[in-house]
C-alpha cells in the first residue's frame, strides 16, 4: 500500500511540474520532433550573446553562505558601443523558478529583453541562482551533497539576490541598479524589500507576472500537488535535487500520457495558463537549452504558499524546529505592506496566468498600492497573457519591453 502511494505521488508530481517534457510533447505535434535537447557547453555568452555580435562578460559571485554564482554582463548594445559604460545605468535581470538567465536572451536581439535593454543604452547584468547549470559550485559542497540542496527561496532572497546586486553596484562605481524579475524573481525582491533590505542600492524594480500570494492560484495540477504534499513525499524518500528533465521524469510522463484523462498536449497550459503569443522557434530554443534544477525543499516552500494564505518563511513542520530557526512556533510573515512607498515599481500581469493569477495579484496590488506613492507605482494588465508570454511572447517587445524601457528612463 505505502509503495503504491509513493509511486502515485511520483506520477502526479512529475506530471504537474515537468515543464520541459510537457513542452516537448507539444512541439512534437508541430515540428515532428525537430527540437531535441542541445545543451550549450560554451555557456550563454559564447553560445548566444556573442553569436549576435554583442559583448558578453562572465563573473563569479560568492554568496555569504558559500554558493558560487554565475553572473553575465552585456555592457552595451550594437548601436551604442562607443558610449562609455560610465554613462550607462546598470540593470539586473533575475529569472524565475526552474529556468536560468538564458531566458532573457532566448530569441533574437529585437525580441529578447536582455538585448533590447543593452541597445537602449543600459548596462545589462544577468543573474543565475544557485542550483542552475552555471551556478552549481560551492566553497565546501558539491551537488552530490544533500546539504548543497538545503535551501528555499528564503535563501535566494537572503543571499543570492544581495550578493549579485551588491556586486553589480560595486562594479559600476556605486550606481543604483534597476531590477527586473520574472515569477520567482519577483518574490525574492519583494521579500527583501519587505525587510527594508537592498533599498539603498536598487533604483527601481520591474515585476513581470509577480508571484507572492498563491493561495488562490488556478492551476488544478499544482493545487493537487500541494494539497497532497507531493514535494514533501519526494523529500521523505531521500531526494534533494529536483531536476525537471531527469530520465525518470520523462519515462513516467511518457507512460501517463497514454491515459486519456491526462491532456499531455496542453499540460503546460494547465500548469501555467494558456499562452497566447509563443512561437515554435522560441519555444524550441527554450527546449534545447532545457529547464534547470532547484531543490526539493524549495518546491516544498512553494507548496506551502499554495496551501496557506500569506507569504511566510519556510515552515519546518513542527513547533520545535520553527522555534529553533525563528524563535517562534510559526514561520514569520514577510510583511509586504511594509515595503517603503518611495521605491519605484512597475508591475505587469496577465489575465490567463494560472500561477500569478488575477485574484492573488490584485491582492498583492492592493497591499502595495495602499501604501505606495502614486507617482512611483505603475501597473500594466495584459488580459490575454499567461505566465510564459512575458519572457517569450512574440509581441512582448512592443507591449511589455517598450514600457519597461520608458519606465527606467523616467526613474
Active site residues: 183, 353, 387
Grid coordinates representing 45 are 555568452
- For residues 188 and 88, give the distance between their C-alpha atoms in angstroms, rounded to a whole number: 25
Reported in sequence order, the residue ranges of 31-110 that DSSP labels E, i.e. its strands, are 57-62, 67-74, 90-94
- For residues 105 and 282, give the distance between their C-alpha atoms in angstroms, rounded to a whole number: 10
What DSSP designation does 400 have? Answer: I
Q: Characterize 4-40 residue by residue with b for buried, 16 or more Cβ atoms within 10 angstroms of its Cβ, and e for exposed.
A: eeeeebbbbbbbbbbbbbbbbbbbeeeeeeebeeeee
- For residues 325 and 316, give the distance between their C-alpha atoms in angstroms, rounded to a whole number: 9
For 81, other C-beta atoms within 10 Å of its C-beta total 12
Grid coordinates representing 5 are 502511494
Q: Specify whether the CB–CB gap between 109 and 48 falls below 8 A.
A: no
Q: Residue 154's Cα: distance from chain center in Å? A: 14
- Of 251, 316, 252, 244, the closest CA to residue 287 belongs to 244
Grid coordinates representing 127 are 543573474
Q: Specify whether the CB–CB gap between 295 and 408 falls below 8 A.
A: no
The DSSP string of 143-200 is TTSGGGG---HHHIIIIIHHHHHHHHHHHTTS--EEEEEETHHHHHHHHHHHTT-STT
Amino acid at each position: 500500500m505505502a509503495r503504491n502511494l509513493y509511486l502515485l505521488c511520483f506520477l502526479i508530481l512529475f506530471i504537474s511540474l515537468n515543464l520541459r517534457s510537457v513542452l516537448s510533447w507539444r512541439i512534437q505535434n508541430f515540428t515532428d520532433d525537430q527540437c531535441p535537447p542541445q545543451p550549450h557547453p560554451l555557456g550563454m555568452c559564447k553560445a548566444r550573446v556573442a553569436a549576435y555580435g554583442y559583448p558578453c562578460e562572465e563573473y563569479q559571485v560568492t554568496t555569504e553562505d558559500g554558493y558560487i554564482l554565475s553572473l553575465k554582463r552585456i555592457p552595451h548594445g550594437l548601436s551604442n558601443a562607443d558610449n562609455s559604460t560610465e554613462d550607462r545605468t546598470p540593470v539586473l535581470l533575475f529569472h524565475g523558478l526552474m529556468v536560468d538567465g538564458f531566458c532573457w536572451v532566448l530569441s533574437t536581439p529585437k525580441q529578447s529583453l536582455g538585448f533590447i535593454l543593452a541597445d537602449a543604452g543600459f548596462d545589462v547584468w544577468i543573474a543565475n541562482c544557485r542550483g542552475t547549470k552555471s551556478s552549481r559550485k560551492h566553497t565546501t559542497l558539491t551537488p552530490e551533497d544533500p546539504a548543497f540542496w538545503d535551501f528555499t527561496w528564503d535563501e535566494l532572497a537572503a543571499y543570492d539576490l544581495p550578493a549579485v546586486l551588491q556586486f553589480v553596484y560595486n562594479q559600476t562605481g556605486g550606481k543604483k541598479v534597476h531590477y527586473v524579475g520574472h515569477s520567482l524573481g519577483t518574490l525574492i525582491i519583494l521579500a527583501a524589500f519587505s525587510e527594508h533590505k537592498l533599498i539603498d542600492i536598487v533604483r527601481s524594480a520591474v515585476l513581470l507576472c509577480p508571484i507572492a500570494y498563491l493561495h488562490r492560484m488556478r492551476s488544478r495540477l499544482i493545487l493537487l500537488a500541494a494539497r497532497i504534499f507531493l514535494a514533501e513525499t519526494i523529500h521523505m524518500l531521500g531526494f534533494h535535487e529536483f531536476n525537471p528533465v531527469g530520465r525518470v521524469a520523462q519515462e513516467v510522463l511518457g507512460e501517463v500520457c497514454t491515459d486519456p484523462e491526462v491532456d499531455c498536449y496542453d499540460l503546460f497550459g494547465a500548469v501555467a495558463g494558456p499562452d497566447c503569443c509563443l512561437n515554435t522557434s522560441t519555444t524550441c530554443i527554450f527546449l534545447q537549452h532545457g529547464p534547470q534544477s532547484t531543490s526539493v525543499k524549495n518546491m516544498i516552500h512553494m507548496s506551502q504558499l499554495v496551501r496557506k494564505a500569506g507569504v511566510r518563511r519556510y515552515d519546518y513542520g513542527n513547533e520545535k524546529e520553527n522555534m529553533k530557526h525563528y524563535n517562534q512556533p510559526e514561520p514569520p510573515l514577510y510583511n509586504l505592506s511594509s515595503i517603503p512607498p518611495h521605491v519605484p515599481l512597475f508591475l505587469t500581469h496577465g489575465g490567463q496566468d494560472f500561477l500569478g493569477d488575477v485574484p492573488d495579484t490584485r491582492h498583492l496590488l492592493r497591499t502595495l498600492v495602499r501604501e505606495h506613492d502614486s507617482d512611483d507605482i505603475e501597473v500594466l494588465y495584459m488580459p490575454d497573457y499567461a505566465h510564459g508570454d512575458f519572457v517569450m511572447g512574440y509581441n512582448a517587445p512592443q507591449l511589455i519591453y517598450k514600457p519597461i524601457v520608458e519606465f527606467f528612463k523616467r526613474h
